[in-house]
């Protein structure tokens, strides 16, 4: 990708608050909460970024998770991608995550992925709708895509060029 993901003058949102949850930048400070949410829902999460992916592995450790969160935070600092933790309003429970990444398909300017833990699945439709609106209102993207939601994994596989 030869162009910047977001303009230099974009003030990247640091949070997003709704009635039942809030989003904050994903960072190592929430590693234990995030890890608990990930391992509680690992089977279903293997379909967040594609069909039957390997993440999260059965042997994922807290240390592995911390490294992932450090990588995501570095992507934020470099303005290459933006990952948010979805927390309870009190901030004591991780409900899920939202990922905003550059699209490798020339048809879209960003890819958005999101998940909620298994015991909070009733929040998924609201989170999905809220994130769609947030992307439209607070981000510079004109043509985002939500792979696995708006477009099937099979169709996405054919649209997205091989890495």
Q: 82-141 pLDDT, tens per residue?
A: 999 999 999 999 999 999 999 988 889 999 999 999 999 999 999 999 999 999 999 999
In a domain, 5, yes or no: no
Structurally, how many domains does the chain consist of? 1
Compute the average pLDDT of residues 10-28.
Answer: 95
Beta-carbon contacts of 70 under 8 Å, excluding residues fewer than 6 positions away, are: 28
CATH number of the domain at 40, please: 3.40.630.30
Contact 100, 135 (CB under 8 A): yes
CB contact at 8 A, 148 and 156: yes
Inside any domain, residue 150: yes
Percent of the chain with pLDDT strictly greater than 90: 82
Range of the domain at 114: 15-159
Question: In this structure, are residues 23 and 30 in contact, taking their beta carbons and an 8 Å threshold?
Answer: no
Q: Is 85 within a domain?
A: yes
Does any domain span residue 10? no
Handedness of CA 131, 17, 96, 10 (dihedral sign): positive
Place of tokens 């309003």: 89
Kindly report the length of the chain. 163
Which whole number is the average pLDDT over 143-150?
A: 94
Asked, for residue 133, whether it belongs to a domain, the answer is yes
Whether residue 130 is contained in a domain is answered as: yes
9 within some domain: no
């Amino acid at each position: 990708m030869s162009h910047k993901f977001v303009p230099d003058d974009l003030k990247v949102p640091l949070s997003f608050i709704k009635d039942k949850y809030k989003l904050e930048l994903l960072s190592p400070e929430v590693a234990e909460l995030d890890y608990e949410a990930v391992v509680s829902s690992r089977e279903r999460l293997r379909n967040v970024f594609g069909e039957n992916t390997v993440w999260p592995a059965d042997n994922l450790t807290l240390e592995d998770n911390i490294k992932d969160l450090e990588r995501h935070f570095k992507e934020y600092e470099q303005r290459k991608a933006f990952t948010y933790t979805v927390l309870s309003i009190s901030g004591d429970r991780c409900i899920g995550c939202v990922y905003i990444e550059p699209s490798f398909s020339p048809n879209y300017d960003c890819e958005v992925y999101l998940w909620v833990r298994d015991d909070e699945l009733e929040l998924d439709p609201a989170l999905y709708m809220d994130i769609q609106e947030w992307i439209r209102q607070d981000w510079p993207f004109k043509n985002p895509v939500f792979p696995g939601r708006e477009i099937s994994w099979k169709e996405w596989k054919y649209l997205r060029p091989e890495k």
